[in-house]
Chains A and B, each alone.
Chain A
């Protein structure tokens, strides 16, 4: 069964990457996975790095590796603000792997409880999420 469509806009600091009417979006918030259909409750959620799936229809899915961001759903429109949104086939695995190992090194050296360590852990989470999507 086809679902009702609603407009979705995905914005990054580097520009708009997606703006269409779609049936459903699925992504990850700080509390877990979330699926959004038309006429969802008004919502503002923080997003953690992970796969953003946008369903144009049941079997036509646009996928992005999305970094940290926000999802706003108001008046039957979805606005996603994400720091990066990269099509999975454009992920550069060797670069991600080397950045991941750098971040792991920083996390190990940094003091427990320091902001330096917290920031390195965020990097690790992002690169791991991206590498998982790239597979």
Chain B
């Protein structure tokens, strides 16, 4: 049986760990709140881009042919973008993405397609390298607080790969944020961009249910149809062509934000569990220490009694 002193040392160590995990939980909680706010902050921009796209498509009368909307004739190479974190200690947050991405990649290789991996975050980048699946490009250093410029960098790289024929399809894997307790792995096709996404109503607008073919300048005027002659500069088609790639950038930005919120949520939950486990361990160890102390006392009493008997 461990001595009292050993157990006391272990209790001290576990208490220190518990302090750290508690602090990490609180940091993650604060960051989670901020990332939730950033997801909220994106909504008005996306809504405005969608309205602008519908207006411009209406004015142009059609959606112009843009390379990222056009499906390639044959599917030979697939780009997989794995979005996760720079750091660990967040439960299965990183490994779920790597597992889903690698499984999908293996399926494509089974169909004799070439697979190019792209990683956002140090963890998926190093996991891929470790498995011998060297990523074509890694984007790192921002997963705590991704900026739109980071999403633009990734999107531009992937769009160039698609348009220049390096890949014929691009899929993204990321953790969709539901709550601190639950995140689910989402797999979406980024490129070619489906034309339906351009003219579809966003989830944030579905509540307004505007009639088909009418655009609205603001929610408060939802009922009023707009028939204004807007001058497009240079013209509606050129504006549309500029708007289309924005959908890819926004999809990636959204994935980065969701992933960041998921990461902080997962870390918060993981750290809360760790703190609880540390608490349980401390309880067990305290019990063990008391038992050890009691055993020592019993031992001493027995020695005293035995000594007294020996004298008598």
Contact = CB atoms under 8 A, between A and B. Distances in A.
B231 A44 contact: yes
Contacts of A15: 38, 41-42
B52 A81 contact: yes
Chain B residues touching A, range: 35 or more
Contacts, number: 100
Given A74-B230, A83-B148, A115-B164, A46 B44 contact: no
A84 B49 contact: no
Interface string A93-119: 000000000000000000100111011
Contact of A14 (B52, B147, B236): B147
A43 B148 contact: no
B67 A115 contact: yes
Contacts of A67: 149
Contacts of A119: 156-157, 159-160
Interface string A24-53: 000001110000000001111110000000
B52 A70 contact: yes
A42 B215 CA distance: 14
A75 B229 CA distance: 11
Interface string B124-158: 00000000000000000000000111011000110
Interface residues of A, number: 34
B229 A42 contact: yes
Nearest to A15: B41
Interface of B: 38, 41-42, 44-46, 48-49, 52, 55-56, 67, 147-149, 151-152, 156-157, 159-160, 162-164, 217, 226, 228-234, 236, 238-239, 242-243, 249-250, 253
Given A42-B230, A70-B242, 4 more contacts: A44-B232, A74-B217, A74-B228, A115-B160
7 pairs of A and B residues whose beta carbons are closest in the complex: A15-B41, A115-B163, A45-B233, A116-B160, A115-B160, A119-B156, A13-B148
